[in-house]
């Protein structure tokens, strides 16, 4: 896609995943599979509140009135999409390199970093904020490292990492050996499991300025990269976990 074609910004159809509500976000992107990906949200219905044998949407009167008065938010969201949202299982589309510095893509990157820092997580991908584009960010600030014991730092290979943004990242395995550690995800809130990851990887792509960059990562940084790269391919850690280690991180509170 050339600069002229990316200027005539693409629009995703409501028949796919919903990427916008009343107006479409003009993100410049190229589909990996040839079909644009997108996002949608499904209403949450607790099994404790409703027992349904169909996919009929159930909303309270308050929710109905709220939706009549306030339009639903559109991506990029200021929150993290939860498992069940089709955007988390879609193949994210490549961004047109000429569009990386465009306001629309910069808004996605800015929102991604803002949400990641607000939630104090160490990595986040664009699909997690409802945008099926191949963009990820990671950061491990010093204040987080201060809360970790020296023994845990060494065992996990933790180190301070500045903010890094990768657009259209490509991953190459440098050390094929794996380590298993407990892993969590903002899109599967409240749960955790042991996941094997490669010891060392290299990522290459474009930064937020559209400049070519590459980075070799090991230890926990390599784990973060692999976790976020999975998101771009519609893969969640639950697809790779040891199912017997899957836990609700607040299980003890339920017994008190």
Active-site residue set: 228
First-last CA distance in the chain = 58
In the chain, DSSP assigns E strands to 29-30, 94-95, 123-125, 135-140, 161-184, 191-206, 212-218, 247-248
Peptide bond into 76 cis (omega under 30): yes
Cα 236 from Cα 229, distance rounded (Å):
10
Strand duo 135-140 + 123-125: pairing: antiparallel
Cα 79 from Cα 67, distance rounded (Å):
18
Cα 36 from Cα 32, distance rounded (Å):
8
Token pair, residue 162, equals: 């500045």
Provide the CB-side half-sphere exposure for 239 (13 A, CA). Answer: 10
């Amino acid at each position: 896609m050339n600069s002229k074609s990316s200027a005539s910004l693409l629009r995703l159809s409501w028949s796919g995943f919903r990427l916008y509500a009343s107006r479409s976000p003009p993100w410049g992107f190229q589909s990996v599979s040839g079909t644009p990906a997108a996002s949608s949200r499904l209403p949450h219905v607790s099994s404790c509140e409703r027992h349904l044998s169909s996919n009929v949407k159930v909303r309270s009167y308050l929710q109905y009135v709220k939706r009549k008065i306030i339009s639903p938010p559109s991506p990029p969201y200021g929150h993290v999409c939860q498992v069940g949202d089709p955007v988390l299982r879609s193949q994210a589309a490549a961004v047109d390199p000429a569009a990386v510095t465009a306001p629309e893509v910069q808004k996605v990157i800015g929102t991604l970093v803002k949400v990641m820092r607000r939630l104090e997580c160490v990595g986040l991908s664009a699909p997690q904020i409802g945008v099926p584009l191949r963009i990820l960010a990671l950061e491990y600030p010093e204040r987080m490292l201060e809360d970790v014991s020296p023994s845990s730092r060494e065992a996990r290979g933790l180190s301070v990492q500045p903010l890094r943004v990768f657009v259209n990242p490509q991953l190459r395995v440098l050390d094929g050996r794996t380590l298993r550690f407990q892993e969590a995800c903002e899109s599967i809130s409240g749960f955790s499991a042991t996941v094997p990851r490669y010891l060392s990887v290299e990522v290459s792509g474009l930064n937020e300025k559209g400049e070519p960059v590459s980075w070799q990562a090991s230890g926990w940084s390599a784990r973060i990269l692999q976790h976020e790269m999975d998101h771009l391919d519609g893969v969640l850690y639950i697809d790779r976990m040891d199912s017997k280690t899957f836990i609700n991180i607040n299980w003890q509170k339920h017994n008190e």
